[in-house]
Amino acid sequence: MFVLRLFHRDMLPPIGSAISRRLSTTLFPLPSAPLPSRREAHVWYIKPEEINDSSSLKQYTDLLSPCEKRGVLSLSGEQLQKNAILARTLVRTTLSRYCDGRVDPRSIKFKKGLYGKPEIMWQDGDNIIKRPLQFSLSHTSSLIACAVALETPLGIDVEENKRKTVNSVISVARRYFTASEVEYLAAIPYPDIQQKEFIHLWTLKEAYVKAIGRGFSGAPFKNFTIQMGSNKRAPKLHIEAGSDCEGLTDNCQFALMELNGSHVVAICMERDRAISDDENNLLSLKVWRTIPLIEDEFISETEALKYICSLS
């Protein structure tokens, strides 16, 4: 008997429960999620350590396209392959949630934008809703996250908050960051905090280049500065004068949070030009932990999520 255990979004699963982890035989419809509102980003994340049984991984693999499966097989080692399966599963199942149960996660097709940003390629067909879903994916070995918004381009980057660089933080910053960012980091007297702030800047910059669809090579980090706000205020972006940064917008907002005390998550969302009033233009977030097709846990407003910079 296959049982789909799905927790109500606002419930925490019982701690230490021996949950029977079996996937539903009907892979869809997936539980529908209400669409993100205009200034909202939804984030769904997987902790790979929570998914280890081979039957789940096999079922997830069956969701992937032939091309994705080939991509997985080309990776070196079980861990990378598992995480790649989980990443593709997360993207497909997450997007499917926002389609009123009418889109099978297996059927979603993707294309690449001008600079290689993955986008949904809606097919003509009876049951397809061509929702203008924007999404972004990021992963480290220990966390995989997918952010979704309606219409507004966004980018997400995650990193272990204790991630150490092989080279010194300042040398990496000198090579890739702007002068004011180097100055900001160099002024921090404590190595631990300096390392953390470096990771904050790194993830924010990554989130930005992903939001604008250019990626790291399409928008070199030296072309723009992220100015960290004082007193936990939201960071601001400045385009460097004289940089060859055609099409780089500075009209965007950032969110920076710490997840489970272990990961930094940065989100960048373009601002809505149509709404000039800043009050109505604030970025808000909803975050869920998920084991696709098995359990969802809404974690905004729990201890698991802490804002490093406040949203308002």
Partner 1 sequence: MASLTGSAVSVSAPVMRRIKATNGASSLNSVSFFGQKRSFSSSARLRISCAAKQETVDKVCEIVRKQLAIPEDTTVTGESKFSELGADSLDTVEIVMGLEESFDISVDENSAQEIATVKDAAEMIDKLIACK
Is residue 73 a contact residue for partner 1 (CB under 8 A)?
Answer: yes
Q: Nearer Cβ to partner 1, position 73 or 114?
A: 73
User: How many other C-beta atoms are found inside a 10 Å radius of the C-beta of residue 225?
Assistant: 21
Q: How far is CA 274 from CA 38, 136, 162, 196, 282, in A?
A: 11, 23, 39, 36, 13
Is residue 123 a contact residue for partner 1 (CB under 8 A)?
Answer: no
Q: Find the shortest distance in angstroms from Cβ 8 to partner 1.
A: 30
Q: Nearer Cβ to partner 1, position 11 or 179?
A: 179
Residues 66, 70, 74: CA angle, nearest 5 degrees: 170
Q: Find the shortest distance in angstroms from Cβ 231 to partner 1.
A: 28
Distance of CA 126 to the CA centre of its chain: 30
Among 24, 65, 107, 140, the residue binding partner 1 under the rule CB under 8 A is 140
- DSSP-derived letter for residue 26 is S
- Cα–Cα distance, 280 to 213 (Å, whole number): 25
Count of residues in contact with partner 1, rule CB under 8 A: 34
State the binding string over 212-241 for partner 1 (x if CB under 8 A, else -).
----xx--x---------------------
**First and final C-alpha spacing in the chain:** 48
Q: CB under 8 A: which stretch of 12-20, 98-106, 120-128, 157-165 binds partner 1?
A: 157-165
Q: How far is CA 27 from CA 145, 150, 255, 285, 298, in A?
A: 21, 24, 33, 27, 21
Provide the binding-site residues for partner 1, judged by CB under 8 A. Answer: 54-55, 57-58, 61, 69-70, 72-82, 140-141, 159, 163, 165-167, 171-172, 175-176, 202, 206, 216-217, 220
